[in-house]
Structure 1
């Protein structure tokens, strides 16, 4: 059995992260609508609820709406908060500064829905350091 397909998949993932940026992420809780991108339209959300609100550095006057990013937890002040080797793909649906729901910490690069945050870190961590790249 050849390991070539697995190697190529891993290589393409690592190549995509070579253009990654670093920042911080917080979590935010429901309600997730209305959003700055699409109002009350629930069809904007992926079925698994992995959404994000863009912080001021990536919001780009709404240009971030619908952008997808792969996000990985690098570190946190909370011990053992990051889930080793885990990534999550999120879709930007909102602006972090204007969220109607509570963030675990304001001023981060991204606010991740609880579903997205749980995939890469413990919700006990108020904020995490992340690596993120466009999909």
Structure 2
């Protein structure tokens, strides 16, 4: 007795399998660079002189051109971790922080911020890397995007 298999009967199974594989994809982060900037942090391009814009943890950043999005990045939250730097041992291993975008990096007068993805507050930078470093390579992911993907 011979059976014939209809390829269409496997289509729903394959589609469900592909959907499940996407749920387990953890490579949604981007890579870029980060520098740090010292106070004063006011005024900002996002919120002007409003000091209540800053998270109490002082973990905030200014967005570089790549993520500025004509100001739409104001208030966005990102998970950030240091992945490498010019000098070995600069990154704090396995440390990820959450930062809030409060400013535009293009308005910060410091040569080391040019072309960076984010410019971190001193507190944020020191949380993921040795604070004496000029810049670091980072992995970052917009927090809202993670939530939407898990939903």
Which TM-score band (shorter chain)? 0.7 to 0.9
Runs (4+) of structure 1 moved beyond 6 Å?
A: none
Bigger relative contact order (CA 8 A; separation at least 6): 1
Structure number with bigger Rg: 2
Partner SS state of residue 97, structure 1: helix
Aligned residues: 120
2:99 corresponds, among 90, 93, 111, to 90
Q: What CA distance in whole angstroms lies between the structure 1 residues aligned with 2:99 and 2:25?
A: 15
1:115 corresponds, among 106, 123, 133, to 123
Q: CA deviation at 1:104?
A: 4.1
- Say whether 1:80 aligns with 2:82: no
Q: Deviations over 1:6-52 (max 9, x none)?
A: xxxxxxxxx69521100000011100100000000011000011110
1:27 aligns with 36
Q: What CA distance in whole angstroms lies between the structure 2 residues aligned with 1:24 and 1:46?
A: 22
Q: Give the TM-score taking structure 2 as reference length.
A: 0.75
Structure 1 residue ranges without an equivalent (≥5)? 1-14
